[in-house]
Amino acid sequence: MKRQKFVLTAALFILAAVGLAVQEAKPGPKPDDNGFVSIFDGRTLKGWHVSAKTQHGSGGRWVIENGAIIGSQDKPGNGGIVITDAPYGDFEVALEMNNDFGPDSGLFLRSTEQGMAYQALIDYHADGYLMGIYGERFPVRFSEFNFQFLDRPDRIKPGPSTFPLPVSPDLWPDFWKHGTWNVLRASITGNPPTIDTWINGVHFMNWTAKEKVLGDTGGIALQVHGGAFPPNLDLTKLFVRYRNIRVKVLDAAAK
């Protein structure tokens, strides 16, 4: 009987902690599942192609396994992007992510073939960030993020952004689950653009550019960082995994 009471108490404690994590999240625009169209069929890279024109290498290795796009460096230092054939302007993109803790990746918005893009960060490694914003290959680069990982994916510390961190570090382990599929989203509208990002349905970032740098449309891309970065890791044996990739075209004039 004492064991049963202990198990019940532990279960209630876990549920309460998850509830607190959600309650602490800063209110923001709620992601809407209506109007999305799948852009990955789960079997092939139809509608996508690997670019050999980025600064990260000739493309890296991209394969389809178990309904997911899986990327890695194909030889030490050689990465790249896989990018949609179709360009997009104002849109919201959502996907599920289950990456190894180690590779540096990213979700590129309005990307050129050379990988110049607004990047929703997926730097899933020590000292990295999720769903902040970075100017990939911009003349003047910038990064905006409100937390960093410590030595493990269940440990974070606040970052420098003025946009508040919506989930506190002590509640992060109840919110983010390494080794399972977590949902990442990003929207981009206007030019100069406004970008919003979400993690597991919680609004994590709102940022507006001050000047126009890219064109009004571009590809959606996924990245495997080139070079020996992060250092001291064999990035041919660590993988990024994405599935259920879908897009909703937005009417900027209606916003």
In b/e form, how buried is each residue of 124-146, taking b as 16+ CB within 10 angstroms?
Answer: bbbebbbbbbbbbbeeeeeebbb
Q: What is the CATH number of the domain that holds 69?
A: 2.60.120.560
Q: How far apart are CA 128 and CA 123, in angstroms?
A: 5
Q: How far apart are CA 235 and CA 223, in angstroms?
A: 13
3-class secondary structure, 231: coil
Here the tokens at position 44 are: 């092939």
> Number of folded domains in the chain?
1
Q: pLDDT per residue over 7-47, tens digit each?
A: 444 444 444 444 444 444 444 676 778 999 999 999 999 99
Q: How far apart are CA 3 and CA 42, in angstroms?
A: 44
Q: pLDDT per residue over 141-180, tens digit each?
A: 999 999 999 999 999 999 999 999 999 999 999 999 999 9
Q: pLDDT per residue over 100-149, tens digit each?
A: 999 999 999 999 999 999 999 999 999 999 999 999 999 999 999 999 99
Look up the domain containing 246 and give its range. Answer: 2-254
pLDDT reported for residue 33: 84
Number of other CB atoms surrounding residue 86 within 10 Å: 12
